[in-house]
Amino acid sequence: MTTSSEPARRAPWLDAVLYGLALVLAAACVAGGVATYRAHEDRQDAKVEQERYGDVVAAATGVAEALVNLDYRDLQTTYDTVTAGATGAFLKEYQSSWKDQEKIFGQAKSISTGKVRAAAVSNIDADSATVMVATQGTTRNTATGEDPQQRRFRFRLDVVRVDGEWRTEKLELVG
């Protein structure tokens, strides 16, 4: 019989059970923290990847729209916009052929307007991508009798990251 001055005794197995329960709870907290961290990291990676896709598409569509929007009365705007988004071989080719293009557009009194109707990234990594772009618009010039004619172009643009910005390195007219 215990007296009121003696402390109550716990069962000897109770300490082991409480210790084990504390270990299980601690392990669960660590596992939950790791899972939360990984989920957050995955979301951050997905966000960065999605932003890269958006930047690549914006760069490619900017160059494509500059190419299909020109007015013989202000060709400098077209030239400046295209060259601002170009690099490498495409930039050199565009610059070296510009005087001839300028002459042709001026003589023909060419006016073209258009928009990108679809763009898709077919290949991408951290520093390069390939983008397919479809445009639709109208062109009028002396050859069309000054009547606007529908034009559709599809381009394949290889873009690369240069000083933190995406620029077109290669452009091909396809199909």
Domain boundaries, the chain: 12-174
**What are 2-57's pLDDT values in tens digits?**
555 666 676 777 777 777 877 777 777 777 887 777 776 767 666 777 888 999 99
In the block, residue with structure tokens 């763009």: 119
Global pTM exceeds 0.85:
no
Distance in angstroms (rounded) separating the CA atoms of residues 13 and 25 = 19
pLDDT (tens digit per residue) in 98-109: 999 999 999 999
Length, in residues, of the chain: 175
CATH 3.10.450.50 fits 12-174, yes or no: yes
- Please report the pLDDT score of residue 11 as a whole number: 72
Q: Which residues contact 117 (CB under 8 A, 6 or more apart)?
A: 134, 135, 136
Q: Tell me how crowded residue 26 is: count the other CB atoms within 10 A of its CB.
A: 10
Taking the C-alpha atoms of residue 112 and residue 128, their distance in angstroms, rounded to an integer, is 30
